[in-house]
Structure 1
Amino acid sequence: MTDHANSEQNHLERIAQLEAALERETLLRIESEELLAECEDRYRNMMDRSPQLVIETDIHGHVTYANPAAHELFGYSDEMYGSHITRFVHPEDIETELQVFERGLAGGKDTILSRIVTSSGDLRYVFNNSIPRYRHGALDGLIIFGMDVTELKKIQDQLENSEERYRALAEAAEDYIYLFDEDLRLAYVNRAGARQFRDEPERLTGRHITDLFPEQTAHRQEQSLRQVLKTGQSLFVENMYPFLGRGEVWLSARLAPVRDSQGRVTAVLGISRDIS
């Protein structure tokens, strides 16, 4: 075989190898695209069925996807798509939301409570966070996950209002009302109680019981508080207390356990009255 024939044969073999490599690459790309499409279908199906709110945006903040839970809460259908996320945010929160969005694109992990205005004008509270979304290795937008906590927020507000009313009543009371935490530090005292120490409530809170009374009195009071913390049972006691400028004062005191959401006793509420 001549050199020319050999060269021609090598050239044809090289072309065949390139064609085979191209075919393998094409098949691999097709398989990868099919696998990616399958993964995206699974992801979309999972997001569609999620009870949490899921919203996707482009890098400019325009909505590209919202799952059924988001549509239901916001009260919008397809008109959500293409809208900027700030369209659904309370006007006073827009600047904060934009800052959080920019931090989210940069990989920030803020979890915030957002005020959402629905299509009917109702105000909803949503805890949300986000992660950057990438496509073909490039930043493509943001995926926002949220949970509607409106009812929890209402309960919290009611509790805070109740606490404010309780404090108002406590401050107006002539009885001495106080709260010791499980470390036996004064967490709260009303003004009537603080007056017995000739001090202000703010200066007394945080102090240990041994800093408030002489050793013998503090020891007796400590035993009573620890009994309530340990047993979870209320206790009624009558004891003598020495107060600066008043001498010995006899007080009747009812000590009651304060429990957290798990039922654990974390503090003792006391109400004392002068019976001298």
Structure 2
Amino acid sequence: MAQNKELNKLRLAFEQTPGAIFILDKNFRFEYVNPGFEKLSGYIKEELINKTVAELFYDEEVHKSREKLVECMLKGEKWDGELLTHNKNGNHYWANTVASPYKDENNNIKGYIIVQHDITDRKKMETALRESEQKYRELAEMLPQTVYEMDLEGYQTYLNRAGIEAFRYNSSPIGRYAFDFIAPEDHARMRENMLRSIKDQDFTAGNEYTGVRDDGSRFPIIIYGSPISEKGEIVGTRGIIIDISERKAMENAILESEKKYRTVIDNASDGIVITQEGKLMFLNKSMYEMMQYEESEILGTSYYDMVVPEDHQIMVEFHKRRMAGENFTSLYRSRFIRKDGKIINVELNARTSDYNGSPAAFIIIRDISDRVKIENELQIAKTKLEKLNNQLEKRVKESSESLTEARTQLINLQKENLQSQFDVLKQQVNPHFLFNSLNVLTSLIKLEPDLAEKFSEQLSKVYRYVLENKDNELVDLQTELNFLDAYIFLLNIRFVNKLKVNINIPEARRNDQIIPLAMQLLIENAIKHNTMSKSEPLHINIFIDENNMLNIVNNLQERPSQLASTGVGLKNILNRYQLLGITEPVFRKTTSEFIAQVPLVITDSNVLNS
């Protein structure tokens, strides 16, 4: 009676427990199931009693999971583990299972008591965690940056493919001391950053170190790291290492460029200033010397204090237009007042720039006082010559009225010849060209002596040609082109990357003849009447067309001029061809080009084919 009472208590306990409990006989037939197992399996008690486990719960997948359990039960041993099975609907589930045999008084196995707890959700989480870990590993392996993990002692527990390549490992990196691959001088700082990250349980926002490859070579890196937490405890750190060699190279290149830029600015022969809101923010050495001020006397003062009062308004207007982004000719003249009160003539080339993050004006200033003096003297000489020429014309006119028609024609011819020679002389000895060339030569002597020597040689070739051919009516194209090479060399030094001259004349035609200096006069004419810059260079093309005319063609970028052109260069060429009595040159302008067509004298027939 007491035994039955104890069994009832035990049965009641089985009925009340939330876990699944069932009892099998020695043939694995169900003798008892509690409500917990009914709920877990989906079967009711009546469907299970006297049925074998194999009848209701067997499939290939379950069988594999149950092999070890059955082996232990047959031996009469207790088994504790995770078991895969399925419910009535065929859905698989995992159960934490403890199976124990119960025996009779003779120690024979009578059956088995099995207790199960559903761990399906936990197994799903473990599977999801494994899959997530696998995805993380796959992603880490695909990344072009180094991904690492290390324990709290600093030993590597993971390094992706990119890291192995970046640090040039010759063997497995796992288990190696991570600090061996950081420059010794960075160890203390890296350890401090790691401890701070672990203490704060936060990622480091990127620290720069010097990495050391397995072969001993060094390279700059930046590390982003964060602590690894498992079950609420910090077990190590993981992060990304980025090779910043290219960025560092760019930074060094920028610093080197800035250094070279500063050297050019400091050694420039022209004055250079930067103004912001009308104040002088920077002056180079040449500007201080030009204005005879010390830095403390002028830096930060008004830019307009240097300018003569009558030029203030035009300066302000130019500044407003420039700051508004208007595109206009930036080369202009003004007059500055030196510290000693002397007024000097200057030429300014201004551009909009940026200084300390705000708009500013970058201005190159050249003292052209000597040039202006020469120009004034030339203007006076020109006026006198024009007066003499007018008087000569008047006398010729008066004399011609008393001569016969033949004598009148002869006098006119002589007069035109004289005028042509005069114009040729003016073009041959161009003071402005000589002044600019000497000015360039002066700068080259300071900065590039070797180039200055070559420049001097080419300049002498130009003037030697002028002297040797000033009395010739015609020269062959090859001789003229040799001269033109020297002349273009001088122009390219003066107008760096602003002038493009393309000569396309076949070798077979280079014995044809042309009047001396014709091409030089037309190139000089194009430069005089057009603007040019590096972004919008002046293009000049020279070629022979199907009518045996030498074409000199330039694109139109007309320079605004306050003085009307005299056209003396083109008139000179026209008059000289008229004196030869051959086909005259043609000059015409389209909307985009100025075209000059000059006749050639063919050597084999000595006639002009136009």
TM-score normalised by structure 1 residue count: 0.77
One-letter code of the match for 2:304? F
One-letter code of the match for 1:134? S
Deviations 1:198-236 (A, max 9, x none): 3438x93xx5xx744349777755554554452477722
SS in 2 for 1:213: helix
Are the aligned partners of 1:234 and 1:256 in contact in 2 as well (CA < 8 Å)? Answer: no
Q: CA offset at residue 52 of structure 1?
A: 1.7
Which of 200, 211, 236 does residue 331 from structure 2 map onto?
236
Q: CA offset at residue 84 of structure 1?
A: 3.0
User: Is 1:9 matched with 2:11?
Assistant: yes
Are the aligned partners of 1:100 and 1:110 in contact in 2 as well (CA < 8 Å)? Answer: no
SS in 1 for 2:176: coil
Are the aligned partners of 2:149 and 2:236 in contact in 1 as well (CA < 8 Å)? Answer: yes
The 5 A counterparts of 1:1-276 are: 7-15=9-17, 17=19, 23-24=116-117, 26-105=119-198, 106=200, 107-180=202-275, 188-194=282-288, 196=291, 198-200=293-295, 204=299, 207=300, 211-214=302-305, 221=315, 223-225=317-319, 227-228=321-322, 230-231=325-326, 235-258=330-353, 268-276=361-369
User: Relative to structure 2, which stretch is displaced further, 158-167 or 222-231?
Assistant: 222-231
Are the aligned partners of 1:88 and 1:118 in contact in 2 as well (CA < 8 Å)? Answer: yes
User: Relative to structure 2, which stretch is displaced further, 48-57 or 245-254?
Assistant: 245-254
Q: CA offset at residue 85 of structure 1?
A: 2.8
Partner residue in 2 for 1:262: none
Q: Indicate how the Cα distance of structure 1 residues 101 and 5 shifts in structure 2: closer, same or farther if over 3 A, else same.
A: closer
User: Relative to structure 2, which stretch is displaced further, 13-22 or 125-134?
Assistant: 13-22
Q: CA offset at residue 132 of structure 1?
A: 2.2
Q: Indicate how the Cα distance of structure 1 residues 176 and 52 shifts in structure 2: closer, same or farther if over 3 A, else same.
A: same
Q: Indicate how the Cα distance of structure 1 residues 114 and 175 shifts in structure 2: closer, same or farther if over 3 A, else same.
A: same
Separation in 2 of the partners of 1:84 and 1:226?
Answer: 64
Q: Indicate how the Cα distance of structure 1 residues 83 and 251 shifts in structure 2: closer, same or farther if over 3 A, else same.
A: farther
**Structure with more of its chain in strand, by fraction:** 1
User: Relative to structure 2, which stretch is displaced further, 21-30 or 158-167?
Assistant: 21-30
Q: CA offset at residue 39 of structure 1?
A: 0.6
Separation in 2 of the partners of 1:41 and 1:50?
Answer: 14
Q: Indicate how the Cα distance of structure 1 residues 234 and 188 shifts in structure 2: closer, same or farther if over 3 A, else same.
A: farther
SS in 2 for 1:109: coil
Deviations 1:125-157 (A, max 9, x none): 223322222222322222221322212322321
Larger Rg: 1 or 2?
Answer: 2
Task: With a CA cutoff of 8 Å and minimum separation of 6, indicate the structure with the bigger relative contact order.
Answer: 1
C-alpha RMSD of the superposition? 3.6
SS in 1 for 2:304: coil
Are the aligned partners of 1:180 and 1:187 in contact in 2 as well (CA < 8 Å)? Answer: yes
Separation in 2 of the partners of 1:257 and 1:154?
Answer: 29
Aligned-pair identity (%): 21
Q: Indicate how the Cα distance of structure 1 residues 200 and 48 shifts in structure 2: closer, same or farther if over 3 A, else same.
A: same
Deviations 1:66-112 (A, max 9, x none): 11111111101544222333211223323322222223323253323
SS in 1 for 2:19: helix
Separation in 1 of the partners of 2:280 and 2:205?
Answer: 35
Q: Indicate how the Cα distance of structure 1 residues 273 and 142 shifts in structure 2: closer, same or farther if over 3 A, else same.
A: same
SS in 2 for 1:139: strand
Are the aligned partners of 1:184 and 1:222 in contact in 2 as well (CA < 8 Å)? Answer: no
